[in-house]
A and B are shown apart, each in its own frame.
Chain A
Amino acid sequence: MSILNRRVDLPLAGGLAVLCVLGLVVLFSASGESTGIFISQIIRIGIGIFVMLSVAQLSPNALLRIGPILYVSGILLLVTVAFWGDGQGARRWIDLGYIRFQPSEILKLAVPIVIAAIVSNRSLPPSSRGLLLCALVIFVPTILIYLQPDLGTAILVASSGLIIIFLGGISWRLIRYSSFLLCCLAPVVWYFIRDYQKQRILTLFAPERDPLGAGYHIIQSKIAIGSGGIYGKGWLNGTQSHLEFLPERATDFIFAVYCEEFGFVGVLVLFMAYALVVIRSIVILYDAQDTFSRLLGGAIIFTFVSYVFVNIGMVVGLLPVVGVPLPLVSYGGTSMVTILGGFGILMSIQTHKKFYADV
């Protein structure tokens, strides 16, 4: 076996490949049969696979050391973006000539690594001092991303850190207190969030309030999904997407295109592919040998599942509209690379464990 082969977890890679292929198939339709977008997505998948395999070569220990460097550079880039970034309305992107990427994506990996390192370095459950440090580590990037403004990613970055603290085991009392505090804060938060964010939340509960404005996305998305039926309208035959009624159909709302063209049966197939990836990841997690790996791996799976849930929840009208892509399916570069990078970490955990065992 070559070194490369030994660092790859085949069941996981298989699940990811199925998702990427399904993604490419529906993207071709959603983009209006644009070969340009199709090829560009293949290139991104290629870069993602390269990053995944590279990360898989590193041992979890190496990741632990790289983590803080990644974190600090991510923060610096966020600050840079705040002053020089591009983006439509919100400043999220950094332009490196040929490639553009969102620095917030780096932190989606860096924050869990650093938090996992902090938590695993001390005795469990984490002490108040450790918790305070974690809170700081999470708070700084979250605020920076929130100010971009990108509420969705801010929540995901924060939760990717918080889940590790949770997995690390904090007292239920603290959870209860913080939940209570959150509930109290809700009205205050409502007061502070921006108008368009309020709109999105209101729209969730009553999309027909403003059918051509804020509610348009959700109404069109539900029409696309609902009209798909059991077997769907067939590949390339989705009217909602091809006649451009569905907004953001190649990116955030690609799931609606999928539902329209492949129906409920197609949805079950996609869910099975996601389930395969998640179940295999959980198996890897249970076999992991050290706390750092378990915490980090847990955070990655949690983040991945939250992405899927938040995106699909939004598209089917269960959650507010937040800019979260559907992992491995939506068109978009940085999230693809980040997610595959995350699975690289899981592969590293799995393969390096085996490597030790062999010795």
Chain B
Amino acid sequence: MCVMFVLMALGLVVRLFYLQIQNNEHFSTRSLENRIKIEPLVPARGLIFSRNGKLIAGNSTSLSLVAIPEKIDDMKASLARLGEKLGLDEAQLEQSLISSKGKSFQKHVLKANLTEKEAAIFAANRFQFPGVSVIPNSSRYYPLGEEMAHVLGYVGRIQPEELKDLDETNYRGTRLIGKTGIEGSLEPLLHGTSGYQRVEVNAEGRVIRIVERRASIPGENIQLTIDSDLQREAFKALSGKVGAIVAIDPNNGEILVAMSNPSFDPNLFVNGITQKQYDALIYSKDRGLFNRFLRGQYPPGSIIKPIVALGALEAGIKRHDVNVFCPGFFRLTENGRPYRCWAKEGHGNVNMTASIARSCDVYYYSLAKKFGIQGLHDSLTLFGLGEKTGVDLPGEKAGLVPSADWKREKLGRNWYKGETLISAIGQGFMLATPMQLAYATSILASKGDAKIPHLFRASKHNFLNEINLRQSDGVAVVLKNQNNWDLVREAMVQVVHGKAGTARSSKLANGIIFAGKTGTAQVSSVDRELELQPDEIPVHLRDHSLFVGYAPAENPAIAIAVVIENGGSGSRVAAPIAKRVVDKFFAGNQKF
């Protein structure tokens, strides 16, 4: 018996020696891992302000219903009871549980943005729901809703496929990420730097004390170039219409207005949009999610005439005071097909100024015949058409300025002379976004001193120091003959202020001189072939209505582009909208 006792004791001592002395390091580490947990400290997202100091994207604290799956015995029953008590959709709860990332011992969001009533009902019944709790978390809200939707974009929950491209340490604990718009393009600036704290926890995971703490650095507050009052005016002006408005300060490229209508409420996306709401947006006729000022590509129509005229003047195609006779049509050859002017009865004798003021097509057909497609292409690309402007928003479209090379490469066909003619009046293959049209107009306004359009005005550091505002130069347009700028500008002034100007009913208030150009872009060829009255044409086949302009003509402070889909004539629809916004600009600006 004694031998047995000694052996037993020896066995235990050997085992303890093995655990405590031989493997002490291993177990010490595990003991440390047991009790020390690292918790991320999520930085507050930077706020976004408009140029006039209005908060346009803020943070709010919301309550979320969360569950720790590991601590719930019967998930299905628990969700069913939650659904019943709080009046929530059980399937929706289950869906968000499945889609949320994380391990079974971590908190999964069942429902974000609880109402106060839901939170109160839960609090009263929480004993019935072990493993489920309500936690506060930071959320995003957009006070101006639809008005800023396409500029700001929105934040939403991080999706698993987005995690791959993120700095995982910096995003541990972050719930929302910028998806589109400024929220998307300035994500690195807005997010800030994540901090952490090392905490001692007990077996239940409750924090006993903080061992070490490195505070997070909040994201930078951002000021945009957008004027929220002007943006609201644009929003109102577009109400009931489908289209876009972009207004730029030609002196520095700051975008004052960027509005696309119809719009959507970005707040819907922050805490998870429901399938029903999403479908409603996606399948609506006019697609509110579609950013028309950035991605809408339209035939620019007569809008490009001042640029074509300028190119032709520079190339010496035709002197500005040489007349072209417009009988209402133009033929390339003696018995060729007639290319019609929009004015059936013709404009008579037209010089360069009149060709812009009255928007004579025949003048441009005759220019184009000598100028050729390459000449047109080169003049138009100088003004940024056919390529992205480089505005600081994701997903911009490049539009299209056709050329013979382009057609051969893309379509595998030869270029026809007739195509050169219609290109000169902005029809055919040519496409441009409202952003490009505004940029081109701002280059015209600043006499070639191109400033790339941008929305990001300043971050917190230079909010108060307006000297070092961000601006970047585009490729400047340098003319051999500086006088040509003035000739074209004078022609554009005649569009609004001339007796026969196409936009003569859209003069600005207070006598401010407005230089502009109307455009009526054909969507289909029905109207000219069948000679129908405008209201006999189905809405979706009606012409797009366009206008570009800048003011004051002598010393421009604003350049604007307006596109109204299927709006009809540019002078009747787009020009008055531009006038309304520009009037508002000067009304709010004491300098003028």
Contacts and interface: CB of A to CB of B under 8 A. Distances in A.
Given A223-B30, A223-B31, A227-B31, A267 B16 contact: yes
B208 A243 contact: yes
B276 to A, nearest CB: 39
A50 B204 CA distance: 41
A230 B20 contact: yes
A302 B21 CA distance: 30
A141 interface: no
Interface stretch (B5-13, B145-153, B409-417, B454-462): B5-13
B5 A229 contact: no
Of the listed residues A225, A227, A302, the one surrounded by the most CB atoms of chain B closer than 10 A to its CB is A227
A225 B19 contact: yes
B27 A309 contact: no
Interface in A16-61: none
A38 to B, nearest CB: 21
Given A239-B34, A244-B204, A245-B35, A316 B16 contact: yes
B200 interface: yes
B24 interface: yes
A223 B2 contact: no
Main SS of chain A's interface residues? Answer: helix
A278 B34 contact: no
A93 B2 CA distance: 35
Contacts of A259: 16, 19-20
A227 B9 contact: no
Contacts of B28: 226-227, 229
Interface in B1-58: 1-2, 5, 8-9, 11-13, 15-17, 19-21, 23-24, 26-28, 30-31, 34-35
A227 B12 CA distance: 17
B24 A229 contact: yes
B21 A309 contact: no
Given A264-B16, A264-B20, A245 B5 contact: no
Contacts of B24: 226-230
A305 B1 CA distance: 11
A316 B21 contact: no
A327 B93 CA distance: 52
Contact of B20 (A220, A228, A271, A313): A228
A347 interface: no
B201 interface: yes
B202 interface: yes
Interface in A307-336: 309, 312-313, 316-318
B124 interface: no
Given A223-B31, A226-B26, A243-B202, A282 B16 contact: no
Q: What range describes how many residues of A lie at the interface? A: 35 or more
A349 interface: no
A161 interface: no
Given A227-B28, A229-B21, A239-B31, A278 B5 contact: yes
Given A245-B202, A271-B9, A298-B1, A226 B35 contact: no
B118 to A, nearest CB: 32
Contact of B12 (A220, A222, A316): A316
B467 interface: no
A212 to B, nearest CB: 8
Interface in A276-325: 278, 282, 298, 301-302, 305, 309, 312-313, 316-318
Nearest to B22: A226
A351 interface: no
B166 interface: no
Given A245-B34, A264-B17, A275 B27 contact: no
20 contacts: A220-B34, A222-B19, A222-B27, A223-B34, A225-B27, A226-B27, A227-B28, A227-B30, A239-B35, A243-B34, A243-B200, A243-B201, A244-B203, A264-B16, A268-B13, A275-B9, A298-B1, A305-B5, A309-B8, A316-B19
Q: Which 4 A-B pairs have the closest CB atoms?
A: A226-B27, A227-B31, A243-B202, A229-B24
Interface of B: 1-2, 5, 8-9, 11-13, 15-17, 19-21, 23-24, 26-28, 30-31, 34-35, 200-204, 208
Given A227-B30, A271-B13, 14 more contacts: A167-B1, A225-B19, A225-B27, A226-B28, A227-B31, A228-B24, A230-B20, A239-B31, A243-B203, A259-B19, A267-B16, A278-B5, A309-B12, A312-B12
Interface of A: 167, 220, 222-230, 239-240, 243-245, 259, 263-264, 267-268, 271, 275, 278, 282, 298, 301-302, 305, 309, 312-313, 316-318
